[in-house]
Amino acid sequence: MLETDSFLDYLRYERNYSEETVKAYEEDLRQFEQFGEEEVGAMTPSKVDAELVREWVVSLMDRKYASSSISRKLSSLRSFFKFLLKKGKVESDPLRKVIGPKKKKTLPVFLKEREMNRLLDDIDFGEGFEGCRDRLIIEMFYATGMRLSELIGLDDACVDFSASLIKVTGKRNKQRLIPFGEELKKTMADYVNLRNEVVPVRQDGAFFVRKTGERLYRGMVECIVKRNLSKVTTVKKRSPHVLRHTFATVMLNHDAELGAIKELLGHESLATTEIYTHTTFEELKKVYNQAHPRA
């Protein structure tokens, strides 16, 4: 299609997009061009109208493309026609009346309360410093709902034992306070006492450390969580974020207000937190369908 190459150069040299991103745009535009040629013959921007774009979307859906992939392809096409409008190559944007397929909401994966109780009450994490630390990592995620990056970045100065508060630094360096209860306080105190004995020198006041005194890193924490969650659950995803989802779901199931959960998780919008209500209702539906004689 005419002007495609100049658009790709614009992305490369004016917008400074990575070569990988430019390649993705190119593939989407070439795919649309090929479809258009099969429908209307040799392609020019003036031949593109909303009907042709909608037919392309339908063809992608028929070929079982995910709605997220189709939305991305439409986004590439939208950017291209905005570029053409700006350059005066077309008089109108044919995509202004085109709405992409709705994305299917993916519900968060979470563990059941009984699985978490079994993990924290019955499973052996091993003796010594590392076993104590690994158990605390699991309990910290479950009891506070903090993000992986927030746990890794935690310093001793962020933990106020007397007030039972943890100060975490979340996205865009936004800080928030998370309260904790007596059970977590005891586990934290046991860990700190053992850590100070085994690892007297630590990297810049880090709360969670390796035996070398260095701060933990993402891959290490992910492995610790995955290894231990595997002992009590068969869910495919066994990540720190699953424990964050579990925290939110448990809080909601025990009558916590959605606004309070939003603040504890550090969400910008209540809409982000509301997905946990969908999770709870999905669980209720499942129980109903299994148990009710006329379900």
Query: Which residues are bridge partners to 175 per DSSP?
Result: 169
Same domain for 74 and 197? no
Residues 6+ apart with CB under 8 A from 287: none
pLDDT of 288 reads 56
Residue 197, domain member (yes or no): yes
In this structure, the answer to whether residues 53 and 158 fall within a common structural domain is: no
Of 282, 288, 289, 267, the closest CA to residue 110 belongs to 282
Same domain, 77 and 130: no
Question: Which pair of structure tokens corresponds to residue 64?
Answer: 């079982």
Within a domain: 25:
yes
Question: Looking at the structure, do residues 263 and 124 belong to the same domain, yes or no?
Answer: yes
- For the question of residue 171 being annotated catalytic, the response is yes
Catalytic-residue membership of 87:
no
Confirm whether 254 is a catalytic residue: no
> Which tokens go with 112?
């059941």
- Over residues 21-78, the pLDDT tens digits come to 999 999 999 999 999 899 888 888 888 888 899 889 989 988 988 888 998 999 999 9
The answer to the question of residue 97 being in a domain is: no
How many Å apart are CA 22 and CA 15, to the nearest integer? 10
- Containing 195, the helix (H) or strand (E) segment is helix 182-198
Catalytic pick among 171, 174, 211, 237: 171
Nearest 5°: the CA angle 251, 231, 262 is: 20
Which of these, 30, 70, 65, 34, lies nearest to 54 by C-alpha position? 70
8 and 153 together in one domain = no
Q: Is 133 a catalytic residue?
A: no
Q: Give Cβ neighbours of residue 69 (< 8 Å, ≥ 6 apart).
A: 60
Is residue 221 within 8 A of residue 118, CB to CB? The reply is: no
Question: What pLDDT is recorded for position 295?
Answer: 43
What's the sign of the alpha-carbon dihedral 157, 189, 221, 249? Answer: negative
Average pLDDT over residues 242-263: 89
100 located within any domain: no
Annotated catalytic, 245? no
Q: Give the pLDDT mean for 268-283.
A: 74
CATH number, domain containing residue 176 = 1.10.443.10
Position 91 in a domain: no
Residue in 113, 110, 137 with CA at minimum distance from that of residue 223? 137
Q: pLDDT above 90 covers what percent of the chain?
A: 57
- 151, 137 in Cβ contact below 8 A? yes
Per-residue pLDDT reduced to its tens digit, 88-113: 888 888 888 888 777 766 678 889 89
Between 215 and 203, residue with greater pLDDT = 215
Evaluate whether residue 56 is within a structural domain: yes
pLDDT computed for residue 289 by the predictor:
67
Domain membership of residue 94 (yes or no) is no
Catalytic-role residue among 135, 202, 262, 267: 267
Output the domain CATH number for residue 24.
1.10.150.130
Which whole number is the average pLDDT over 128-139? 97
The chain-wide mean pLDDT, for the chain, equals 89
Q: Domain ends where: 44, 69, 86?
A: 86
Find residue 160's DSSP bridge partners.
Answer: 165
Domain-embedded: residue 104: no
For the question of residue 262 being annotated catalytic, the response is no
Shared domain check, 270 and 131 = yes
**Do 142 and 76 share a structural domain?**
no
Cα 230 from Cα 195, distance rounded (Å): 26
Range of the domain at 75: 4-86
- Number of structural domains, the chain? 2
Q: Is residue 177 within a helix (H) or strand (E), and if so which, with residue range? A: strand 175-179
Residue for token pair 């129980």: 287
